[in-house]
Amino acid sequence: MKDEPRAHPLRHSTQDLATADRIPDTPQTRSPSHQLAFGDTDFLTREDLRPVRLQLELLKAQLLLDEAGVTSTVVLFGGARIPDPATRDLARTPELSDLSRYYTEARRFAHAMTGRCLAGGGSEGVIVTGGGPGVMEAGNRGALEAGGRSIGLNIVLPHEQAPNRYVTPELSFNFHYFAIRKMHFLMRARVICIFPGGFGTLDEMFESLTLIQTKRMKPVPFLLFGRAWWEKIVNWQALADAGVIADHDLGLFTYVETAEEAMVAIDTWVAG
């Protein structure tokens, strides 16, 4: 992000950063205490500065999405390990190979939703994914193939994690804090789609459902792709039968199998 000097009488911070690099080399100027606070990485990464870093992560993506004119999003959550059908023979298990069909459906759904987004001016219903491989890649890919933009909310992990090549570059973000990343997934969400996946997908699904259940978030179309998968992974009815959720909570989501079914579900959705 390039921070251009604004038209006001005060000297801009970027000018002072450049000037600070040209000052004489002395014991005083080499001291960490002499560095400008906002240019001092060691200072900004101190334990005491965590609240500031949280705010910066929230604010950076917020400002850039506002500047890009993104008013609402369609969220795609799903497994990073689900392969493109073209490479399904390399999948580590037969089950993952079979799940490659959801890569195709995520790609097709993102393509259809992006076409609708573009028809409406390109600011509402922009696809957002976690920016990584698998279902995330499929979502960004479908949006790009439709000629539109898409968002990637990547996160730094202990192993190498790079954004997939289909994310719109100026809408490719990177996070340290999972909590702030999750906020950006949902702050503009008008549709949430959950594809098969692992711990991360389950975490995102249950957190989103909890926010809607507890009325901390307005209801939106909440689509689970692959009824057989989800009913095998989660015994939803057992939760209701035990009384740990209400019967009507089972109506917070809708099962779909294909991109076409998802589009119909969105178009016919009525808030409960």
* CA distances to 15, 138, 170, 187, 230 from 153, in Å: 31, 14, 12, 13, 25
Domains plus CATH for the chain?
A: 73-267 (3.40.50.450)
Whole-model pTM above 0.85? Answer: yes
Question: Looking at the predicted structure, is the pLDDT value of residue 266 above 90?
Answer: yes
Question: Looking at the predicted structure, is the pLDDT value of residue 79 above 80?
Answer: yes
Indicate the burial class of 215 (C-beta count within 10 angstroms; 0-12, 13-18, 19 or more): exposed
Q: Percent of the chain beyond pLDDT 90?
A: 80
pLDDT band at 108 (very low <50, low <70, confident <90, very high): very high
The Cα diameter of the chain in Å comes to 74
What gap in Å lies between CA 191 and CA 77, rounded to an integer?
Answer: 11
Q: Token pair for residue 89? A: 């023979």
CA dihedral 111, 115, 116, 121 (to 10 degrees): 140
**pLDDT tens digits, residue range 56-71?**
999 999 999 999 999 9
DSSP three-state, residue 195 = coil
